[in-house]
Structure 1
Amino acid sequence: MGSRVAPALELKMLTQAGVNPVLGLSEAKFQSKVTALATAEGWEWFHVYDSRLCPAGFPDLVVIRTGVLVVAELKVGRNKTTADQEKWLALFESIAGTRVFRWRPEHWFAIYAELTGKRN
Structure 2
Amino acid sequence: MTRFPVLTAAEHRLKMCNEWTEQQLQDKITQLAKELGWLVYHTHDSRRSDPGWPDLVLVHPVRHRLIIWELKSKKGRATPAQLVWITALRTAGVTVGIKRPEDWANESIQRALQGVNP
TM-score tier by shorter-chain length is 0.7 to 0.9
Match of 1:112 in 2: 110
Superposed displacement of residue 85, structure 1:
0.1
CA contact (8 A) 1:22 1:33 kept: no
Superposed displacement of residue 32, structure 1:
0.5
Match of 1:52 in 2: 47
Aligned-residue identity in percent: 32
- 2:38 & 2:17 partners in 1: Cα distance? 20
Q: What is the TM-score with the length of structure 2 in the denominator?
A: 0.78
TM-align CA RMSD: 1.8
Among 94, 99, 117, the residue aligned to 2:95: 99
Structure 1 alignment gaps of length 5 or more = 1-16
- 2:113 & 2:77 partners in 1: Cα distance? 23
Structure 2 alignment gaps of length 5 or more = 1-8
One-letter amino acid of the structure 2 residue matched with residue 28 of structure 1: Q
CA contact (8 A) 2:40 2:58 kept: yes
Q: What's the CA shift string for 1:38-85, capped at 9, x where partnerless? A: 000000011010110211011000111132110100001211101000
Largest Rg, 1 or 2: 2
Match of 1:10 in 2: none
Task: Say if 2:40 is the partner of 1:75.
Answer: no
* Count of residues in correspondence between the two structures: 102
Task: Say if 2:67 is the partner of 1:87.
Answer: no
Superposed displacement of residue 118, structure 1:
4.0
Indicate the SS of the match to 1:100: strand
- 2:99 & 2:56 partners in 1: Cα distance? 10
CA contact (8 A) 2:70 2:98 kept: yes
- 1:93 & 1:34 partners in 2: Cα distance? 21
